[in-house]
Structure 1
Amino acid sequence: MELLAGALSLAVLPVLVILARWGANRWRYRRVPGPFAPPIIGNLPELRRHGSLHTYMDACRRRYGRVFKAFNKWIDGLVEASPQNGLMIYLGSKMFLFVAEPEGARKVMYKLINHNVGGMLTADRKAEFKANTKGLFAATGDDWRALRAAWQPAFSSSSLEQYARLMDGCALELAASLGRAGEEGRAVDLWREVGKMTMSVVGTCAYGIDFHTMDAPGRASGAEGAQLVQASQRIFEAGLLSGSAWGRPLLLFPDAERVVAWLAARLPDQALVDVTQARKTIVNVSRGLIRSWRTARGGCSPAPSAAPAAAAAKPAPRAPPAAAPAAAADAPGRDQGGKRPGGATGIAPGSFLGLMLEGNGGGRGGFDDDTVIAQSNTFILAGYETTANTLAYTLYAISANPRVQERVLAEIDAFGRDRAPGHADVAGGAFPYLEATLKESMRLFPAALMTHRLVSRPEGFDVQLPGGGSVNVQHGDTIYTASYCYMRDEAYWPAPLEFRPERFLPEGSALAPSLPLDHVFTPFGGGARLCIGYRFAKEEALIALVRLYQRFTFDLEPGVAPLRMVHRLTLSPADGVRARVVARA
């Protein structure tokens, strides 16, 4: 009996701790309205009923106000609000809050820098490599500043000018593939098709090797590229919780992350084994490419395996911007066998990985190899599906709006149906209406629903309440900014749910937002953490759209409209965007 009583006590103790924290938090933030959430399961049933985080977020904003809380394993924070402008949602003893008011969100994005990145489930007990803690997105403080400085050359104007050639070559390959589908009368999933192109672009730019995603069926592909593509796609499909059943206990007991991670590593399910293997594939292929690169340059030794403390103190030197895009410059004529002309080093000079290694002194100091690999991994994960989603939404919106399509075609025809779009055209504003169409797509369908910031100041962070007064957000809490909500809010945008690209042009002033555009239109975030590759993404998308509409229009398949979305790692089309390719006369 004593043994049984002891076991029961051990089982009851965690529950009592959860109940105590839940009660304390409910009392502390009792002024903040929101749906009642029982302990442990919190608001999970309501989220499941809505089907996706983005619909639940917007429903909460409409019902409870423009500062609200929502839950996710990776969302852990607090922002106080007035009863008219706040919402609390609970998960166990955790409370998760979003700011869906543009000025408040702007203050958060501009005054706070660090991100709060949760742990990563893995079937690897050693867990030697953790890309989610070494990449630019997760880096904090001086480490982040050093890494961002090392990223900068890849997105200089001279780099983008040369990358445009690669983007144009990949867009032409996409157009050729879609042309074959049109001739055969086949419907295609535009989302998956443009995804092949964006993976080809970011993969080649990141590693300097051809990812072969645009190859015709049955064509031989380069080994490294094929492995990296398959692994990257598997990671995206798995989502934030690795697609594992072990993600459910993390949702219910977020404070037990270490315990759940320990158990998952020892009793992994197949989904966790698969995504762990995908991560290992990326690391192993990357290490092999780095070894080849180092051997070709006289066997430079890698830096010690450690956090980039040295680089934090002294940022990595930048490679000359003019030389940065050497790989991209010859990309349209790249060897389809997987090797690039002029050498067999694997990593082409001027690729992002090559740039990081060159700027790292050949690995002799500064960033260790794992940190360099993590940056290339981040480059792909940040640039692949986000741009594919934006392109798919834009193609959908143009196809669903004949008036918009007519203006897009007229603008592209005036530019020239046989003329190659380049960096100077994109940067010089040669496509004002097409760019407005792209912006309107990102406003209604942002790939990233929100941004977040960790309060790392010991004194906390004061947040002004919409109803007056302020609250101190404590050290260690996280604040989320819900751009999806305020970019669709009728308080800031006339006719917010209508697709009206002219709102971004002088002629559409009646549809323009009531606040400055950069305050209320933030698809790439804001402040110091503004997406470093936003110009790269914009250039890639515009070049692809020009090349496609020079040759085609698209007829959406029945049932595609209205488009159904779901939030995974990004906001994605739930069922793709199926359409038939129509060749222009």
Structure 2
Amino acid sequence: MAEVCTSQPEVPAPFTSHPEVPIPLSSQPEVPGTISSIPMEVTDGPMVGVACGPLLSIGLLMASCLLLLCYLLGHHRYWRALGVPSPPATLLMGHTLRRMGLSQPFMEFFDELYYQYNGSDFCGYYDFLKPGLFVGNPELIKSILVKDFDHFTDRRTFDLGKVNPIANDMLTNARGNHWRMIRGIVSPTFTSTKTRRLYPLVLHRAIHFLHRATRTATSGPVEARELCGRYTMDTIASCAFGIECEALTTEAAAFPAVAAKIFQLSLVRAFKILVLLVAPRLAELAHRLGLEFTSPEFHFFRQVVTHTIRKRQETGLWRGDFLDLLMETRAHGKKGLSDDTIAAQSILFLLAGYDNTANTLAMTLHLLAHHPRVQAALRKEVARALLKGRGQLTYDQVMSLPYLDAVVSEVLRLYPAAPVIERVCTKNYTVGVCGLEVGVGMGVLVPVWNVHRDARYWPHPQQFLPERFLGSARASILPYTYLPFGAGPRSCVGVKFALLSVKAGMVSLLTNLEVLPCPASPHPLPLDPRVLTLQPKDGVYVNLRPIELQKTVEHETIIYGATA
């Protein structure tokens, strides 16, 4: 008992464990006041280092992301810092997707800028991270496009000199002095005098247009875009490339098919455009490594033009077409007009003229079908002119018919060939009295679509009223509120030819056919929200009925009275 009572439990001293035989921690009893009772995370130095490594990496990553976010958001604070209204921008993309119609119809985005963010005067937007100016004020439009043009000489284009030199020679793509040189060469070929020389070729195609329309009408509703597209394709092939599409030649047979491909936007072509837009230097490097940016269609058209030029030089053949006019200009010693430059303008003729002219013609047919009184008045005017001209109309007579011009002008107000005009600042500029500075390289958008439909300038803007462009009404139109072909030195150089094609086609059609509405194309016509040329979403369908001109005019006069 004494032994039991006097024996004491052995408590290990804190520092008595043998250094070479460590005692497992789990086997050591915890005694207050010993080191074993202290929490281990305080004393475990190596494990703290292991834990701090990932935490430090995560912290650095978060800090980097925060800095990047601040950098991106900082670019999108540009307009706010200047007190200029601008809608909220999407991170990194800005308003690019909305402006291009990729995330919503571009018309809706333009309406938002114009009516909600002071775009009817001016407001800001962002192309990716780059600020741009949206200008709807007619006085500012005049300054940018005409008065102070030397500050905005360039369009927003790609520099294709290293990857597609043919496209870079196009008048619309050229910049600076290169543009001035090409403009000085091309402009004289589109004067009224020179365009008059193209009239016999256009008239010949207009007759074929009528024959094709008459044949198509017998099988039911006619898709007007397709019908008018064939007419404009034939006209351009004849006037710009010296090709008659009905001719039994290899070029004539291939031309419509190849031309159609140039308007098809494949994934590969879309990728190339994106690379040119975002990283032009990368595009140049890719071109050096073998990626071709000049499409096979461009090579085809260049070969056609070169072959035609050589053939005419050898044979002395003269047709009075666009190629002859350019060759004539070169023969008079105009420098800089190489075969490639001539080919580039011919291809531009196709790109700029085919789709826009076909669309204008198709929209004209649609609007006339749904406005029979306007159609009757137009047919009566044409019939009177034909009576005076003994069944034929000259170039001057076609171009000077007042109601025909009013109808086409009103169609172009509602559906302008270019619903937006783009310019790039090439010299620092101060905007009006507000003192806003526009720097070199900043893009400027002029929203033709909105200005043409602004009720302040056009009463009842959604209605089709050709009378707006007659007599005193036309004279009262506020300058720079009607811009279907742009304005100033960089306006559409081929406007006279485009109007001739549309008017000649309408004269030919209306004297032999009546245009009637089709249930497949309601009015107003839904537009494709992802196309920037105001194309109809589901085609343009009309019914065509053969008529005898004199009887139809008499019948329509009875129905509509003196207004028809």
Fold-level match, TM-score > 0.5?
A: yes
Work out whether residues 22 and 94 of structure 1, in 8 Å CA contact, stay in contact via their aligned partners in 2.
no
Amino acid at match of 1:259: L
Q: CA deviation at 1:266?
A: 6.6
Q: CA deviation at 1:117?
A: 4.0
Q: Specify which of 263, 268, 274 is matched with residue 236 of structure 1.
A: 263
Q: Structure 2 vs 1, CA of residues 369 and 46 (structure 1 numbering), >3 Å: closer, same or farther?
A: closer
Q: Which residue is 2:448 aligned to?
A: 483
Q: Which residue is 1:358 aligned to?
A: 328
Q: Structure 2 vs 1, CA of residues 14 and 452 (structure 1 numbering), >3 Å: closer, same or farther?
A: farther
Q: CA deviation at 1:436?
A: 0.5
SS of equivalent to 1:523: coil
The CA distance in 1 between the partners of 2:339 and 2:413, in whole Å, is 38
Q: Which residue is 2:226 aligned to?
A: 192
Work out whether residues 216 and 222 of structure 2, in 8 Å CA contact, stay in contact via their aligned partners in 1.
yes
The CA distance in 2 between the partners of 1:356 and 1:488, in whole Å, is 38
Q: Which residue is 1:279 aligned to?
A: 298
Deviation string, structure 1 residues 505-551 (Cα, Å, up to 9, x no partner): 137x4xx69653x4211111111122222112112211111110001
Amino acid at match of 1:94: K
Q: After superposition, where does 1:23-422 map in structure 2 within 5 Å? A: 23-27=74-78, 29-30=80-81, 31-43=83-95, 46=98, 51-67=104-120, 85-110=121-146, 111-112=148-149, 114-119=153-158, 129-182=164-217, 184-210=218-244, 212=245, 215=246, 221-238=248-265, 243-245=269-271, 247=273, 255-259=278-282, 262=285, 276-294=295-313, 296=314, 343=315, 348=318, 350-361=320-331, 366-416=336-386, 419-422=391-394
**Is it true that 1:579 corresponds to 2:549 in the alignment?**
no
Work out whether residues 555 and 580 of structure 1, in 8 Å CA contact, stay in contact via their aligned partners in 2.
yes
Amino acid at match of 2:330: N
SS of equivalent to 1:528: coil
Deviation string, structure 1 residues 260-306 (Cα, Å, up to 9, x no partner): 675599797xxx98x82222222233333334345x1xxxxxxxxxx
Q: CA deviation at 1:413?
A: 2.4
Q: CA deviation at 1:477?
A: 1.8
Report which of the two structures shows the higher radius of gyration computed on alpha carbons: 2
Deviation string, structure 1 residues 398-443 (Cα, Å, up to 9, x no partner): 111122122112222222377222212034x2x2112101100000
Q: Specify which of 526, 532, 537 is matched with residue 564 of structure 1.
A: 526
Amino acid at match of 2:236: V
Deviation string, structure 1 residues 48-106 (Cα, Å, up to 9, x no partner): 58743234212331222225xxxxxxxxxxxxxxxxx4443334312333212222111
Work out whether residues 120 and 132 of structure 1, in 8 Å CA contact, stay in contact via their aligned partners in 2.
no
Q: CA deviation at 1:493?
A: 1.1
SS of equivalent to 2:489: helix
Deviation string, structure 1 residues 374-393 (Cα, Å, up to 9, x no partner): 11111222222111111111
Amino acid at match of 2:321: S
Q: Specify which of 473, 477, 496 is matched with residue 535 of structure 1.
A: 496
Q: Specify which of 420, 429, 432 is matched with residue 461 of structure 1.
A: 429
**Is it true that 1:500 corresponds to 2:471 in the alignment?**
no
Aligned length: 485
Q: CA deviation at 1:234?
A: 1.8
The CA distance in 2 between the partners of 1:279 and 1:578, in whole Å, is 32
Amino acid at match of 1:452: E
SS of equivalent to 2:174: coil
The CA distance in 2 between the partners of 1:290 and 1:13, in whole Å, is 60
**Which range is displaced more, 107-116 or 126-135?**
126-135
Amino acid at match of 1:372: I
Amino acid at match of 2:391: R
Work out whether residues 353 and 372 of structure 1, in 8 Å CA contact, stay in contact via their aligned partners in 2.
yes
Q: Structure 2 vs 1, CA of residues 450 and 364 (structure 1 numbering), >3 Å: closer, same or farther?
A: closer
Deviation string, structure 1 residues 202-245 (Cα, Å, up to 9, x no partner): 221112222x1xx4xxxx64322343433332222329x97424
The CA distance in 1 between the partners of 2:525 and 2:181, in whole Å, is 41
Amino acid at match of 2:429: F
Amino acid at match of 2:296: Q
Q: Structure 2 vs 1, CA of residues 513 and 357 (structure 1 numbering), >3 Å: closer, same or farther?
A: closer
What RMSD, in angstroms, separates the aligned Cα atoms of the two structures? 3.7
**Is it true that 1:553 corresponds to 2:514 in the alignment?**
yes
Amino acid at match of 2:235: V
Work out whether residues 163 and 284 of structure 2, in 8 Å CA contact, stay in contact via their aligned partners in 1.
no
SS of equivalent to 2:437: strand
Work out whether residues 145 and 488 of structure 2, in 8 Å CA contact, stay in contact via their aligned partners in 1.
yes
The CA distance in 2 between the partners of 1:532 and 1:171, in whole Å, is 22
Q: Structure 2 vs 1, CA of residues 391 and 63 (structure 1 numbering), >3 Å: closer, same or farther?
A: same
Work out whether residues 349 and 355 of structure 1, in 8 Å CA contact, stay in contact via their aligned partners in 2.
no
Deviation string, structure 1 residues 320-342 (Cα, Å, up to 9, x no partner): xxxxxxxxxxxxxxxxxxxxxxx
Tell me, which stretches of 5 or more residues in structure 2 are unaligned?
A: 1-52, 549-564
Work out whether residues 161 and 422 of structure 1, in 8 Å CA contact, stay in contact via their aligned partners in 2.
no
The CA distance in 1 between the partners of 2:273 and 2:182, in whole Å, is 30
Q: Which residue is 1:425 aligned to?
A: 397
Q: Structure 2 vs 1, CA of residues 152 and 118 (structure 1 numbering), >3 Å: closer, same or farther?
A: closer
Work out whether residues 425 and 443 of structure 2, in 8 Å CA contact, stay in contact via their aligned partners in 1.
yes
Amino acid at match of 2:393: P
Work out whether residues 72 and 92 of structure 2, in 8 Å CA contact, stay in contact via their aligned partners in 1.
no
Work out whether residues 84 and 124 of structure 2, in 8 Å CA contact, stay in contact via their aligned partners in 1.
yes
Amino acid at match of 1:435: D
